[in-house]
Amino acid sequence: MPNKMRVAQIARVNGPLEIVERPIPEPPADWVRIKVQACGICHSDSVVKEGLWPGLQFPRVPGHEVMGIIDAVGEGVSQWKVGERVGVGWHGGNCGHCDNCRRGDFFACTVDLKVTGISFDGGYGEYMVAPTMALARVPKELTPVEGAPLMCAGITTFNALRNSGARPGDLVAVLGLGGLGHLGVQYAAKMGFRTVGIARGKDKEALARKLGAIHYIDSQAQDPAAELAKLGGARVILATVTAGDAMSAVQGGLGPKGTLMVIGAAQSMQISPLVLITGAQEIKGWYSGNAVDSQDTLAFSVMSGVRSMNEVYPLDKVTEAYERMASGKARFRVVLTMGA
Ligand SMILES: [Zn+2]
Ligand SMILES: [Zn+2]
């Protein structure tokens, strides 16, 4: 086995992604080493590039949409075996002992909340090490490229929808048809919701319907709130866009006790308190989820046939791949592959 690996690191705030050779790391106790096969490039990786995360240390290898194979295990690891396929997502671990962890709210750990590719090196490279707490089992039906985007874009939409309060048959709208939205429409349809796609322009309609939407609203030509109201009002609107004004424009389309589920990180948004009060509406956010939520996402995706549409780049082209993601023009997720 070679003792060197290639990774793409960022060495300083706003520095380039540079491919460097490093020694292949040994997994500490309760961690495993993973031979990475594929890693999605997520918009959130920009917090590494731009140095936006408090306490972030450079150099750092980004990447929290990881698919790979366990290649070594640290001391004390008994539940995971060499050769097993695993995924690693945003949630990289938690202390397990603080009050929030004891309540099961691992995402809110106050002592040792780890984020993959931020607190420790992520998946833009040939190998990485990860705590067992961060591992999801990968079904054999998924290729590494298929699985990678499901570890962040997938789990974020899947988990938000299944925690939204919507039930089969309810009217559920997905605002935005990008990296998150194109998965959100598929999950919503497969969960048995009457699914509405909302996006800008007539040209997205065919795609929305192909992904499972039974209604489509062109938010440039139509008032999305009025159109949703005509359909009876949405039980849930999953807002995947990053434009606050687009979110504000749909609030009036919520039905009684409807929920605006926000997963797009807009700078700010306006809401009408009067509409909120008289409709007994909720506005709610959702974090992605932990490792077992990832595992549920992968299993549901296999069962239902939900897949991300991806543009694939080799690790050598990481800069081009990152720029493609940042351009917002990718259809729809960008995935790095590590070769052999
Ligand atoms: Zn992400
Ligand atoms: Zn904790």
Distance, in Å, from the CA atom of 147 to the CA atom of 178, rounded to the nearest integer, reads 18
Taking a 5 Å cut-off on Cβ, the residues next to ion ligand 1 are 42, 44, 152
Within 13 Å of residue 72, how many CA atoms lie on the same side as its CB?
Answer: 13
From the CA of 99, which ligand is nearest?
Answer: 2
pLDDT bin (cut points 50, 70, 90) of residue 339 is: confident
Q: What is the average pLDDT across 78-101? A: 97
Give the integer Cα–Cα distance in Å for 287 and 154.
Answer: 12
198 touches 250 (CB < 8 A): yes
Q: Which bound ligand lies closest to the C-alpha atom of 154?
A: 1
Q: Could you tell me how far CA 247 lies from the centroid of its own chain?
A: 19
pLDDT of residue 1: 63
For 53-81, how does the pLDDT look when each residue is reduced to its tens digit (9 = 90+)? 999 999 999 999 999 999 999 999 999 99
Question: What separation in Å is there between the alpha carbon of 290 and the centre of ligand 2?
Answer: 13
State the residue for tokens 């999953």.
238
Condensed to tens digits (0 to 9), the pLDDT of residues 159-210 reads 999 999 999 999 999 999 999 999 999 999 999 999 999 999 999 999 999 9
Which ligand is in closest contact with the Cα of 96?
Answer: 2
CB atoms within 10 A of CB 317: 14
Kindly tell me if the per-residue pLDDT of 118 is higher than 90.
Answer: yes
The whole-angstrom separation of Cα 33 and Cα 185 is 35
Residue 22 scores a pLDDT above 70: yes
Q: Shortest CA distance to 138 belongs to which of 189, 95, 87? A: 87
**Confidence check: pLDDT of 317 > 90:** yes
Any idea which ligand is nearest the CA of 100? 2
Report helix angle 153-162 to 181-190, nearest 10: 40
Centroid of ligand 1 to alpha carbon of 327 (angstroms): 16
DSSP β-bridge partners for residue 31:
131
Q: Using one digit for the tens of pLDDT, what is the confidence trace for 236-294? A: 999 999 999 999 999 999 999 999 999 998 999 999 999 999 999 999 999 999 999 99
The pairing of strands 4-10 and 17-23 is antiparallel
Which DSSP string corresponds to 7-31?
EEEE-STT--EEEEEEEPPPP-TTE
CA 110/CA 309 separation, integer angstroms:
36
